[in-house]
Structure 1
């Protein structure tokens, strides 16, 4: 992934001023970090809500080199020492950015789901496809509403085939993930 922050802001529907657009055009983002400890130069930090509020770690992400962050509109203590893209919901923005990037790269998508054997099947399918195509795949079993967008955003721009593992732990999750990745081929284990 390699995009300007201006392109990212536009892709997620963020409202930015003309001054911000000019500034954001000069900021290159080449990776996404959801863990402030793993942020590096060129990272867009995405502060997710979990046991702790990810917004509390934007300073750490910036100290580790993050170039920018999503920030939930209306959230207190907006930082002023890092470029901020204000969004309604950081997770939804991450998912929207992934869908945008997937359409931009436009690989063939193979989705793997099922109750048992998803990860092994995904690895085998990717290994076979990689003999003839530039192939990216889900790392490990990162197969949920966070892992799937990170998989998409982690692929190179020259990816020809993306093999995505999709898991389910609640009703409607596979529908949501399928709408995001729009697979060309589905494998059910």
Structure 2
């Protein structure tokens, strides 16, 4: 049986070689992402310490399929909740309590709700880990300030039109501070 490698599902390869520059504000990184997209660099990324509204549009990143996973997982949980209770009450253990019908669906609502939320949550987390390729061993930390208060624009070596000196001057021209060239550790 053929199983594709996990790397085939990811658009961007691990950060091995390239250039990154730090930015101080969310507006600055959004502006840098827009200009980088206009320059047609492919595979660039923005590393952020917290979510920034509008960065996906600025980068040209397509909408995630994760909401669809959540939706269908919720439908699955809802269906399991309904079927499990109905089959248990109406077929496997049919007890007539206080003259209620064997299909008293309004009594099923709490369990249906809980199974819907549970399935949607669990499958969303699993899909998130799968789609993002987590956990990733031996991740390189480019700069310690990216995790707390700085924003980084990363342009990898495999980007179309990559020229190291041009990329460094491009990021500096966008207002990037501490522009750093990253070389592979494997050499």
Q: TM-score if structure 2 supplies the norm length?
A: 0.24
Q: For the pair shown, which has the larger CA radius of gyration, 1 or 2?
A: 2
Which structure: greater strand fraction?
A: 1
Which structure: greater helix fraction?
A: 2
Higher relative contact order (CA 8 A, sep 6+): 2
Q: TM-score if structure 1 supplies the norm length?
A: 0.24
